[in-house]
Amino acid sequence: MSLNNNNETKSKNLASSIFFRFIFLYLILYILPFPFSLIPFSEYITTPLHNVFVKLLDAAGPLLLKQYYNPLHGPTGSGDTSLKYTEAFMLVIFAGIGSIIWTLILKKEEYYAKLSAILEVLVRYYLAATLFGYGFSKVIPLQFSLPNAQRMNTTYGESSLMGLAWTFMGSSPGYTILSGCIEVAAGIFLLFHRTRLLGAIVSVVVFINVFALNIFYNIPVKLFSLHLLLVSVLILAMNAKRLLGFFFLNSTIAAEEPQIHFKNTGRSKIIYYTLNVLLICILILPPLVGSIGQQQNRQAQNLSRSGTIMGEYTISHFSLNGDTVSSTDTNTRRWKSLKISGNILNVTHMDGFIIPWYCSVLNGSHKIRLSSKDLTTTGEFDFKTEGKTLHLSGYMNQDTLNIVAHKTSDNPYLLLEDRFQWISEEPFYR
């Protein structure tokens, strides 16, 4: 009986040993080239190695995914390409083979504590770097910016699930910034040994929400967000005893001493804290500075594109081929109102029918150039402004138009005007 128990114990120990080594190897392979990517000029080494790995994926992809493999290597904006799934399958194979070989060659387990500590530090910093990248792009609204004119003129029925999610997030900068602050806070907590557990808890909550959005709104970052969620859960699992003690045994969460120790000398402490500060700056500053730079470039582009005539107008005078068309006339060719925003000009006719036009506002020459969505109809108008009055004269297709319009709003879209208020006697739902 005892012999059977010993065999079962050895089998369990062997299985847990292989599983630990598999997880260790898989995550190390997955996060590569991190942390080497933090070293300047490391791309001269990592890029050739990556190219070799991609060739291996091209050879393995058709075998693993059959007809579903697409050898597309350029940036597509998707993290769920067949190349990415092939990469995940290959990493599983490499980690599985490596863990078996590792177990056969080295059977000692006394170094597991230090390996676990090394793995935790690596995945914590990798997770923090990722959280900073996504977090700062929300704190400084880049990932989800305000919906542009083209998005505003797309109906719900014409929207994709991903487009709808982007519009939802982008139309509320406050909510987007709050989401980014939570992600940045989780990243900061993960950087420090004493607060890593809090960082992992916040990170799990963040990535559960992110993964759910990616799944249910068909956002093609499912594979990556799943890995980030699993890494967050892994950090929690490494601290399971402290969590169980706090939630179920009513014991306090005492700070654990790190497994990797340094000599307790003045010079060692200076080197240790200097390296920590340097690493934290390397992880935080590049995504922060990059986000600020992108925001400044976007503002400069928007400023160059914006014009003084953007807004919503009501037509007070409409002349078609020299004849004035009355506002009470049911002639559907008469304009009732127009909206100018970005590169879209919406014309509302007397019968309520709305026609969107692509427009280019040339402020320097005071001209507006129009084209229909199918590019079969064009137009060009000279414009001048007098206060809130806009004068347009020009042609559209074969017709000559003279228009006088009065601005009723600087913002032609309700979605961008509707803002928070504490007191609401009834819901404003449209």
* pLDDT per 10-residue tile (average), the chain, 430 residues: 61 78 93 88 88 90 87 80 93 94 76 83 94 94 81 82 92 92 96 90 96 95 96 90 71 55 63 79 87 76 59 90 81 84 84 85 83 85 89 89 89 74 80
Structure tokens at 138: 């929300």
For the question of whether the overall pTM of this predicted structure is more than 0.85, the answer is: no
The reported pLDDT for the residue numbered 128 is 95
Rg (CA), the chain: 30
CA distances from 324 to 51, 337, 400 (A): 68, 16, 12
Return d(Cα 187, Cα 189) in angstroms, integer. Answer: 5
Instruction: For residue 330, report the phi and psi dihedrals to the nearest 5 degrees.
Output: -85, 10
The reported pLDDT for the residue numbered 257 is 54
CATH of 311-413, one of 2.40.128, 3.30.460, 1.10.10, 1.10.3680: 2.40.128
Nearest to 367 by CA among 346, 384, 344: 384
Return d(Cα 193, Cα 350) in angstroms, integer. Answer: 67
The reported pLDDT for the residue numbered 304 is 47
Q: Tell me which long-range contacts 381-385 makes (C-beta under 8 A, separation of at least 24).
A: 383/309, 385/308, 385/309
Number of residues assigned to the chain: 430
Residue 313 contacts residue 337 (beta carbons within 8 Å): yes
Whether residue 33 has a cis bond before it, omega within 30° of 0: yes
The reported pLDDT for the residue numbered 264 is 57
Q: Tell me which long-range contacts 200-204 makes (C-beta under 8 A, separation of at least 24).
A: 200/124, 200/232, 200/235, 200/236, 200/239, 201/236, 203/127, 203/131, 203/228, 203/232, 203/235, 204/229, 204/232, 204/233, 204/236
Structure tokens at 357: 């036009």
DSSP 3-state helix, strand, coil percentages of the chain (rounded to 5)? 55, 15, 30
Instruction: For residue 144, report the phi and psi dihedrals to the nearest 5 degrees.
Output: -120, 90
What pLDDT digit, counting tens, does each position of 41-76 carry? 888 888 898 889 989 998 998 998 888 888 777 778
Structure tokens at 129: 């770097």
The reported pLDDT for the residue numbered 275 is 78
CA distances from 58 to 31, 53, 426 (A): 20, 9, 59
Count of beta carbons in the 10 Å neighbourhood of residue 375: 8
Count of beta carbons in the 10 Å neighbourhood of residue 241: 12
The reported pLDDT for the residue numbered 5 is 59
The reported pLDDT for the residue numbered 31 is 94
